[in-house]
Amino acid sequence: MTGIEASPSLREADSAGTAGTADDAALGDADVRREAAAAALTDASSPEEARLAFRKGLVRPTCGIAKGYAQANLMILPKELAFDFLLFAQRNPKPCPLLEVMEPGVTEPVTCPGADIRTDVPLYRVWEHGELVAETPDITGYWRDDLVTFVIGCSFTFEFPLMEAGVPVRHITAGRNVPMYDTSVACRPAGAFHSTMVVSMRGIPATQVSDAVRISGYYPSVHGAPVCVGDPAAIGVTDLAHPDYGDAPILEPGDVPVFWACGVTPQAAVMASKPPFAITHAPGHMLITSKRDLDYMV
């Protein structure tokens, strides 16, 4: 495969553009249905409801969905590379906190019984030799019996506890994905894998930074306390307005940029280390587990 393959929804949109008024109307109806389905997922949705919607083809970021439940990043690799990545994750627990390591070929995670790891994430990325070759809402066609799935904690898990304490999470309020940045912070290499750390950023009012640090620190299995508060240049972030992943940040007057280690770091490791084959989630499009956020609170 060469180039990035469009997801089915993008291919449908391309073909509909040449099909005349009736097809345009049908496409418009499909867009309306997708928007309605996306809006139907809220903080009150259950993980099962969200995963079913994604299995049916809904694509949207998962921030703000299923209050009280842990969300997770994915890294899926051939068995022969699994030990190297396991060691990489153990050496770098801040960006790669492991919640589960699945047996080769297994598709139902212990962290979400009844789920299918191939279909129940809203958007996946497929990589070959470090190059992104496809983004798709369904990886069934790419699945192999030798693939090992790593389920990695995600900071979306502690966003609801922040909001419950009165700390604003501005990308959720605005209906956006969280901004994420490559940094100059080196991860410890392991076997075939090396990388720098990726971070997510949230603008926090200066008077509430200590609350954000304290509350997120209760959740070490989903990245825990921030790795940087204040100066982006301290971690090699030079253009705060233009993140490397996700949506543009929202910073209100008096906000301080606060950076947390991010589970997109394995994707940076894929790009840097160039394994022959890998599958990840798309940034911000997480596995919503059936585990309560309190299960990971210390």
pLDDT at 33: 56
In sequence order, the 6+-apart residues with CB closer than 8 A to the CB of 121 are 54, 74, 137, 281, 285, 286, 287
How far apart are the C-alpha atoms of 123 and 103, rounded to whole Å? Answer: 22
pLDDT at 40: 86
pTM: 0.87
Burial pattern 260-276, b for ≥16 Cβ within 10 A else e, equals bbbbbbbbbbbeebebe
Read off the pLDDT of residues 275-295 as tens digits, 9 standing for 90 and up.
Answer: 999 999 999 999 999 999 999
Query: Which SS3 state, helix, strand or coil, does residue 25 take?
Result: helix
Residues (pLDDT < 50) of the chain are: 1-19
